[in-house]
Amino acid sequence: MLREMGKRCSMELLREFLRQHANQMPRTMLRYAIEKMPEEERQEWMRKPSFAAEPRNTVEAGLTKNKRVLRFAGVPVSDFVEIILKGDDEAMYYLLHDRLKHQFQERYEVCKNYLCDDYEDIIDDFFLYLRESGSYPYELLKGIKKKESFETWLLNTFRNYLSNRAEVEGRRMSSQPNCEAHLAIAREGGIKNCEAHAMMAGEGGVSDEEKIRVVSELIAYAHQVFYPRGRFIFLRSLLTMLNKQRAVPNREMAEALDMSDLAYRVAVYRLKQNVRYFRERLLKGEALRLDDEHRQMADNINSDFMHLYPMLFRIYLECIETLKTRKAVKDLRQQYLEERGYAVHEPDADRPIRVRIPSFWEKLNRWVTI
C-alpha cells in the first residue's frame, strides 16, 4: 500500500510518513515501501536504525529509541512550535535526528567538502546553536504566522548555518600550511584514543614549557570563542580537575543553567571535541587568533602557571555574572555551602593548590578523550 501510494499519489507524502515511522516499521515492510525509490535513497532508508537495534557509536544515539523521544513520533508539525517554545529540548532533538534527518543530510552533502566535522557532529552543533546562540533563534519561532511552515523554517535555518560555517571554515583551512591533510584528519572524526592522539601530536617530545604555552592559549581561546554557558562549563571542568572536591552533579548543574539534561550532555560532548581540536592545532604550532583581552589572559597564565587555580577561580566567578541564570547558579553554590560546609570550587586558603604541569596535562588529556 505504501509503495503504491508513493508511486501513484505522492513520493513526498510517502517520505513524510517514513520520516515519522521508519524506525518503528519491520524491515520487510520498509523494503517494500521504498521499492520504487532510487537506489541511493533506498540504502539511506535501510540504514535508518530500528528501535530494537543496538545504538551507534555516538553520545546520544540511544535517545532516538528513548520513550521520552518516541512520544513525538505522531505530533503534527504545527504543534512543535509550542512544544519547543516551552523549553522541550527533546522535541527539537527528535526533529533533527529522526524526523528530518534525510533532508538535513541532503543539505549537509552539498557543503560537506567545506566542513571539518562529520554529519552527526554538525547536527549536534546546530542543536546547540539553536539553543545557545546569542541571537537565540528559538525566539524567531514566535513570529511564524503559519506554524505548518515550521519545518521549512528549520531547514532554511540549517542551510544558512551550513553556508556560514563552510565560509568560515574554508577561510580557516586555506590559511593552514597542510590544510588538505588536516581536513582529512578532521573528517575522520578526530582522535579516538589517547595513544593515537599522542602519536599524531608528537607529545613525546613536548617540553613542560611548551605544554604550559599550549594550556595557557587553550584556556584563553576557549574562553574567547565559547558561548557563556560553554565558558562556564569549561572553567568548572578545569577547576574540578585541579581540586579534590566532589563537583555538583550534572543533573543539578543543568537545572541551574536552565538546560535539559539532554542539552547539557550534548554541550559537554561538543565542548570536549572543540577543546581537543584547539589543542591539536596548538601542538601543530599553529597560532590561535586571540584578541587583546584574551592574549593578556594567556600571558598571565603562562607567566604564573603554578597559581593557575586562583586565576581560574577569579575568571570562573566573573563568568557566572555573564550568565542569564546566575542567580540559580549562585543559589546552588550557597546550597552546597550550607549542606557540606564549602562553596563549590572555593579555593582553600590554608592549603593553596600549586599546579604541576605533568599531572594537569595528563588530566586534561584524559578529560578530552572520555
List per-residue pLDDT tens for the chain, 370 residues long.
Answer: 888 887 777 888 888 788 777 777 777 788 788 888 888 787 777 776 554 343 344 434 444 445 556 677 778 887 888 888 777 778 888 888 888 888 888 888 888 777 777 787 788 778 877 776 555 566 677 677 777 778 888 888 888 888 888 777 665 544 444 444 444 444 444 433 334 344 334 445 678 888 889 999 999 998 888 888 888 889 888 888 887 666 677 788 888 888 877 788 888 888 888 888 888 888 888 888 888 999 999 999 888 888 888 888 889 888 888 888 889 888 888 887 777 666 667 766 556 677 788 888 888 888 887 6
Which residues are within 8 A (CB) of 370 and not within 5 positions of it... i.e. 6 or more apart? 272
Cα distance between residue 179 and residue 184, in whole Å: 8
Amino acid type, 136: Y
Cα distance between residue 171 and residue 163, in whole Å: 13
151 in Cβ contact with 104 (< 8 Å): no
pTM: 0.53
165 in Cβ contact with 113 (< 8 Å): no
Could you give the 3-state DSSP secondary structure of residue 176? coil
Q: Is 295 left (phi over 0), alpha (psi -120 to 50) or beta?
A: alpha
Q: Residue 91 to residues 103, 124, 158: CA-CA distances in angstroms? A: 17, 14, 16
Cell numbers representing residue 142 in the block:
514566535
CA dihedral defined by 151, 152, 154, 160, rounded to 10 degrees? 160
Q: For residue 357, what pLDDT is reported? A: 84
108 in Cβ contact with 178 (< 8 Å): no
Which residues are within 8 A (CB) of 155 and not within 5 positions of it... i.e. 6 or more apart? 100, 103, 104, 107
Which residues are within 8 A (CB) of 205 and not within 5 positions of it... i.e. 6 or more apart? none
Neighbours of 319 (CB within 10 A): 23
